[in-house]
Structure 1
Amino acid sequence: MGKKCIFHIPYELDLMGESAPMVRPRKMMKAFENLGYEVSIVDGYAVERKIKIKNIIEEISSGVRYEFLYSESSTEPTLLTEPHHYPIHPFFEFSFFKFLKKHGIKIGLFYRDIYWKFDSYKEALPAWKSFCAIQCYKYDIWQYRRLLNKLYIPHRKVYTYLKSYSLENILDVLPPGCDSAVWKNDRNEKRERQRGILNIFYVGGLGEQYQLKELAAAVSEVESCRLTLCCRKDEWEKEKNNYEKYLRGNIDIVHRSGKELEDFYSRADICSLMFKPDIYREMAIPYKSFEYLSHGKPVLVTRGTAIGDFVEKNDTGWVLDYNRDAIKKQLRELVDFPELISKKRENCLKVREQNTWEVRAKKVEKDLS
């Protein structure tokens, strides 16, 4: 019998979903499978999870060996992940964790989000709702401290907001990974850059937490640059008044996802994560940053951000102040000296090999063995 592990998420996994809470668990599950694990999945709404948990408990009680449980949290408290958001199943999830601990099976959990620690979370909800939700988040943390062997976070700065909960003995960093399948048949490996034109690609959100105006302003003033901005159509409709003045012929707005993005990646020289900085950016690692890296694309990133730290450490792009003059200066330099892009790309190709999803899964395996 081969190795077995348990993969747990307290919500229904959409196998076609393109958001990070859907993509990341799928990538980690596949990585465990690639390491030779038979993965038993606990997901779905509470009734479904209860059935799956009951089956696993029966297996363990009859002598089946599981090496570890790896879990990823929801952006919501565990108790509130039902569609109606009422905590009608408050105990079974952590009772299962307690059962595993009693049977010597170690548990690691990736803690996705601490948005609830910010005032903006309270301001976005009625007072009674935010109060109840925050108590449920705190309940999660209390259970994590009791039951987990490892609590994974996206970036070390997240711990700044968790210090009061005495978690330092179990905390560790587990950022997103690169998808090695992307470069096995990479159409970009021998691509020649279009002479005299710098093609920039951005794919992701657009809005309050994804402000790209300084990038758009800079590109609009550099004729030899072309920016393709890919976002959801509804987000563009809400934000287009903030960007239309920059649409001077060298900025294209598209709405694509999944495999449709490959053509844009194949044409791109570099990618962008030039967001307006805020306190959340200091600790958030965008999932798309490792998708860019998977495609071997150097990136423009904002100074003072978590992803900026990664890019600076690994020399996979350019870390800039968030203002149009600094961005414009860098763009013109890259147009004039395209060999600078080639050097960064070489680093990307090395660094992505060191940061695959399989590397992330191996770390979990080692931590929980």
Structure 2
Amino acid sequence: MMKSILLYYPFQIAKEANSGSKVRPKEIHKAFLAWGQENGIEVLLLSGSSKEREETFFQWQREGKLDNLWFCYMENQTIPFWLTDQGHIPKKPLIDQKVMSFLKAKKVPVGVFYRDVYWKFDELYPLKGIKKFIMKSIYRLEEKFYEKYCDVIFLPSEAMGRYVQIEKPMVPLPPGGKGMKGQHSKSNNGTKKGLYVGGINNEDYGLFLLLDALSLANKDQKNCELTIVCRPDEFEKLPAEKKSRLLDAGVTVKHVSGEALNTLYQEMDYAFIPRFKSVYNDFSVPVKLVEYLSNELPVIATHCEAQKDIIEADEYGLICEDNPESMAQAILRMNDKVDTYRSHIQKSFVEKHSWLARVKKVKSVLLKEESR
């Protein structure tokens, strides 16, 4: 009988994948399907509303589809899985427990990707008062659920483990990148083209730290031409003095996405992640880091722990402190080393950090083929 694995997503998969949290469940499902096809393994995806999950689960049980499960990989959401139905009221609140009890009885190893703990940080969590107390209690129940039913807790980074109160082995997973093969256009030797893609109206993202660094790096001669890609509405909302700072710095502002953004990546030499160091930024892996590296762009990033680990481990770029002087120095150093860093990315990024690498890591950890 053909071996099978179960992907358990206790939520509806988003039709429009317009953020990292919506992209990941789709991409890892695709990678599991490709890996399963190559290895003769059936991949079963159990997802949807609690009612849909219950119907499918009992049907598969009756058909014997779950009799030969090898392991189960589960994803969680930013809200506890009991609340993922429309209106946050579960139609079948016990289905998740039924599925996990079934797997436990069958001794099927289970790993959950625990994606975020922003709810543990008062400055990040928007709820106040009694609502906040109730929600935090439900989050803690979710952690207890994973402790009872899961064998391994998969994390976006090792640094996040300090904030997860689950007494189970914790394993960071590769971030899930792609190899976007393209032809990078070469810049003139002097001035290189730098890129920043992301939010511009949150101090934490460090855009104006980057502008300060840029003016230092370009003081004696133009070393970096900066292009910023942001949402049009965010640009409109920028205060007049910040807009004029962008203009004074000679920055190009674009509002592109999809294919137009992919083309822009090919025209750039390297990219920036200038986030300020904080407890939260230390353990989160920015989606943009993965996107830059997938497009073979070396990165200048601040010394937040998780992004620093990925960039330094295989020399994909330069790490600086979150101040203008340190970042300006990194810009000057990067100009001589762009080709070296790009060749490192080409050599190992897809092999070590792709969606397929993530699937292989899940399998080898859950089947105890490697030490945790």
With the length of structure 1 as denominator, give the TM-score of the two structures.
0.89
After TM superposition, the structure 1 = structure 2 runs for residues 181-192 of structure 1, keeping only pairs within 5 Å, are: 182-183=180-181, 186-188=182-184, 191-192=185-186
Equivalent position SS for 2:319:
strand
CA contact (8 A) 2:300 2:331 kept: no
Q: Deviations over 1:256-282 (max 9, x none)?
A: 223332111101100111112211111
Q: 1:319 aligns to what?
A: 319
For 1:259 and 1:127, locate their aligned partners in 2 and report how far apart those are by CA, in whole Å: 44
Deviation at 1:341, TM superposition (A): 1.1
Q: 1:293 aligns to what?
A: 293
Pairing partner for 1:125 from 124, 127, 151: 127
Q: Deviations over 1:311-352 (max 9, x none)?
A: 1222111100112222223323444x3xx1111111111221
Q: Deviations over 1:209-255 (max 9, x none)?
A: 42321112323552342222222233333345573113236322222
Q: 1:366 aligns to what?
A: 364
* Counterparts in 2 of 1:63 and 1:302: CA distance versus 1, 3 Å: closer
For 1:12 and 1:332, locate their aligned partners in 2 and report how far apart those are by CA, in whole Å: 47
* Counterparts in 2 of 1:298 and 1:103: CA distance versus 1, 3 Å: same
Deviation at 1:365, TM superposition (A): 1.3
For 2:324 and 2:341, locate their aligned partners in 1 and report how far apart those are by CA, in whole Å: 22
Q: 2:147 aligns to what?
A: 145
Matched, 1:193 2:187: yes
Q: Deviations over 1:161-213 (max 9, x none)?
A: 12xx352x421111412213x23xx223xx42344321112223344342321
Equivalent position SS for 2:112:
strand
* Counterparts in 2 of 1:257 and 1:6: CA distance versus 1, 3 Å: farther
* Counterparts in 2 of 1:39 and 1:254: CA distance versus 1, 3 Å: farther
For 1:226 and 1:216, locate their aligned partners in 2 and report how far apart those are by CA, in whole Å: 11
Which AA in structure 1 matches 2:211?
A: A
CA contact (8 A) 1:315 1:347 kept: yes
Deviation at 1:121, TM superposition (A): 4.1
CA contact (8 A) 2:50 2:93 kept: no
Which AA in structure 2 matches 1:228?
A: T
For 1:88 and 1:134, locate their aligned partners in 2 and report how far apart those are by CA, in whole Å: 22
* Counterparts in 2 of 1:315 and 1:206: CA distance versus 1, 3 Å: same
Number of equivalences = 356
Deviation at 1:67, TM superposition (A): 1.9
CA contact (8 A) 1:216 1:243 kept: no
Q: 2:158 aligns to what?
A: 156
CA contact (8 A) 1:271 1:300 kept: yes
For 2:234 and 2:42, locate their aligned partners in 1 and report how far apart those are by CA, in whole Å: 40
Pairing partner for 1:354 from 352, 355, 361: 352
Equivalent position SS for 1:120:
coil
Greater than 4 Å deviation, 4+ residue runs: none
CA contact (8 A) 2:289 2:307 kept: yes
Equivalent position SS for 1:319:
strand
Equivalent position SS for 1:125:
coil
Q: 1:72 aligns to what?
A: 75
Equivalent position SS for 2:281:
coil
For 1:95 and 1:64, locate their aligned partners in 2 and report how far apart those are by CA, in whole Å: 15
With the length of structure 2 as denominator, give the TM-score of the two structures.
0.88
Moved more, 15-24 or 44-53: 44-53
Pairing partner for 2:208 from 198, 209, 213: 213
Gaps of 5+ in 1: none
* Counterparts in 2 of 1:63 and 1:175: CA distance versus 1, 3 Å: closer
Q: Give the root-mean-square deviation of aligned CA atoms.
A: 2.2
Deviation at 1:87, TM superposition (A): 5.0
CA contact (8 A) 1:153 1:175 kept: no
CA contact (8 A) 2:283 2:304 kept: no
* Counterparts in 2 of 1:158 and 1:334: CA distance versus 1, 3 Å: closer
For 2:289 and 2:35, locate their aligned partners in 1 and report how far apart those are by CA, in whole Å: 24
For 2:240 and 2:146, locate their aligned partners in 1 and report how far apart those are by CA, in whole Å: 44
Equivalent position SS for 2:283:
coil
Equivalent position SS for 2:353:
coil
Deviation at 1:26, TM superposition (A): 1.5
For 1:265 and 1:225, locate their aligned partners in 2 and report how far apart those are by CA, in whole Å: 15
Pairing partner for 1:108 from 107, 111, 131: 111
For 1:210 and 1:356, locate their aligned partners in 2 and report how far apart those are by CA, in whole Å: 25
Which AA in structure 2 matches 1:288?
A: K
Which AA in structure 2 matches 1:28?
A: I
Equivalent position SS for 2:195:
strand
CA contact (8 A) 2:210 2:274 kept: yes
CA contact (8 A) 1:148 1:170 kept: no
Q: 1:84 aligns to what?
A: 87
Deviation at 1:8, TM superposition (A): 1.9
Q: 1:55 aligns to what?
A: 59
